[in-house]
Amino acid sequence: MTILLHQEEHIIQQIFHETKRKNKDNLTRTNAYKRYYDRHPEMKWSLLASFVSRNAGWSMTDLKGELFHPGLTDQQGHLFFTTYERANWLIFSDAYPQLLLYEWSKRCKKPLFHLLPSFQVSRFMRAEWERFWKNRDTERLLYALIINEQYTIQSPIIQNPLLKKNVFHSIQYLFSEWGHFQTVVFPTVDGHLYGITIRKFSHVKERILLGKKLANLLFRADLFSDFYHFLHTVPHTGSRFDFEQFLGIARRSTPFLRTVYPAMTHSLDDQKEDWFQNKVHPALFQAASLPKQIELTQWYFHKKRQLRFLFSLEHYFQHK
């Protein structure tokens, strides 16, 4: 019994160490998700998380790019960056220990999900991992992880009073939501851009629906190999030029992430509140169909022009 407890304590400490090391910044998180998927391709969420994390990095450097930077004060830019960074840090600090514990379970050939409370993981996910270990329903686990990640950030990020006032109710955010710029894009190296737009980003069920649609798009049989090829061959720098170069855009307009953002120091609350109360609505586990328009190459150019106009308009009224 003592030997068993010692082994479990060793596993817990290893997971804490590995998670902290890989949660340094957007680049380390993005790469960690991708490498994990390559080791465990049944973990579809991990590849989806890597692609969404790339998008988060691109959104971060947008704040320092030619388009957004002139229209933001230093305080606004910092708050927007902090929102992206904190949300993605929180998701990783919650989800990556789950993935590593599954990896240890495979290695030990027995489920170790009773250790999840050590990482303050929701009771919801312990039940879902135990269900997965028995029936191997990869789709169910994918949806469960999407549900969990969005509820994980709902209270500390989306409903945070400071961020609610200065980010989600700010003129820049309302401009981007009204103009349909809350879009996650999946590029390919042959010059195509696919993606899905979310309205009402602050609504948790809308973000869950987006996650399920993005998963549907990413793993679509006729597109998956193109998306994976991009992830596998194009290093993530945080700059949109990572994919804009394949669209025929010759000049970089957003910087490398690490040239403008030093690594932030985060800390978890001592007692993280479990978002899960009694149950989640069964509809959250239902599949989501893709919108008619998923090819967004020309849309992207049009929206960049539109966004440039909106910010120039705002700049005009600010200095009138």
| pLDDT, tens digit (0-9, with 9 covering 90-100), for 185-204 | 999 999 999 999 887 777 89
- pLDDT of res. 78: 87
| CA dist., res. 123 & res. 51, Å (int) | 27
- pLDDT tens-digit profile of 270-284? 557 899 988 899 999
- Judging by beta carbons within 10 Å of its beta carbon (0-12, 13-18, 19+), is residue 1 exposed, middle or buried? exposed
- What's the whole-model pTM score? 0.92
Helix pair 74-108, 44-62: axis angle to 10 deg: 160
With b for 16 or more beta-carbon neighbours within 10 A and e for fewer, the 294-318 pattern comes to bebbebbeebbeebeebbeeeeeee
Break the chain into its structural domains and give their ranges: 14-318
- pLDDT of res. 306: 78
- pLDDT tens-digit profile of 21-74? 999 999 999 999 999 999 999 999 999 999 999 999 999 999 999 887 877 788
- pLDDT of res. 174: 47
Answer whether 148's CB lies under 8 Å from 94's CB.
yes
Instruction: Write out residues in the chain with pLDDT < 70, as ranges.
Output: 1-4, 162-181, 269-271, 310-320
| CA dist., res. 253 & res. 67, Å (int) | 8
Measuring CA to CA, which residue among 249, 154, 122, 140 is closest to residue 193?
249
- pLDDT of res. 73: 80
Location of structure tokens 């720098």: 237
- pLDDT of res. 4: 62
* Entry field: residues in the chain: 320
- Residue 263 DSSP SS3: coil
